[in-house]
Amino acid sequence: MSTLTQPGADIWIRDDLSIDDALSRTTHLGIGAHQDDLEFMAYEGIAACYESEDQWFTGITVTDGRNSSRLGPYANYTDEDMRVVRREEQRKAAELGRYSAQFQLDYQSKDVKVEATEKVIGDLVELMRKMKPTTVYVHQPADKHDAHVAVLARCIEALRRTAEHHIPDRVIGCEVWRGLDWLADSDKVLMDCGAYSELTESLNAVFDSQITGGKRYDLAVQGRRRANATFFDSHGSDLYSSVAWGVELKPLVEDASLSMEAFITDKVAQLSEDIVNRVSKFL
pLDDT digits (tens, 9 = 90+) for 267-279: 999 999 999 999 9
Q: Which of 72-86, 112-126, 245-259 tops mean pLDDT?
A: 245-259
What pLDDT is attached to residue 115? 79
Q: CB of 176 within 8 A of CB of 139?
A: yes
Q: How many Cβ atoms sit within 10 Å of the Cβ of residue 251?
A: 10
pLDDT digits (tens, 9 = 90+) for 160-185: 999 999 999 999 999 999 999 999 99
List 101's β-bridge partners, or say none.
13, 58
Q: Distance of alpha carbon 113 from its chain centroid, rounded? A: 17
Domains defined along the chain, listed by start: 10-258 (3.40.50.10320)
37-55 burial by CB neighbour count: b if 16+ within 10 A, else e?
A: bbbbbbbbbbbbbbeeeeb
pLDDT digits (tens, 9 = 90+) for 95-104: 999 999 999 9
What pLDDT is attached to residue 1? 55
Alpha-carbon gap, residue 197 to 240, rounded angstroms:
13
Q: Distance of alpha carbon 26 from its chain centroid, rounded? A: 16
Strand pairing of 243-248 and 188-192?
antiparallel
Alpha-carbon gap, residue 282 to 249, rounded angstroms:
35
What pLDDT is attached to residue 233? 78
What does DSSP assign to residue 111? Answer: I
88-110 burial by CB neighbour count: b if 16+ within 10 A, else e?
A: ebbbbbbebbbbbbbbbbbbbbe
What pLDDT is attached to residue 124? 98
Q: Stretch 201-209: mean pLDDT, rounded? A: 92
What does DSSP assign to residue 52? Answer: -
What pLDDT is attached to residue 3? 77
Q: Distance of alpha carbon 256 from its chain centroid, rounded? A: 22
- Res. 2: pLDDT tops 70: no
List 135's β-bridge partners, or say none.
28, 170
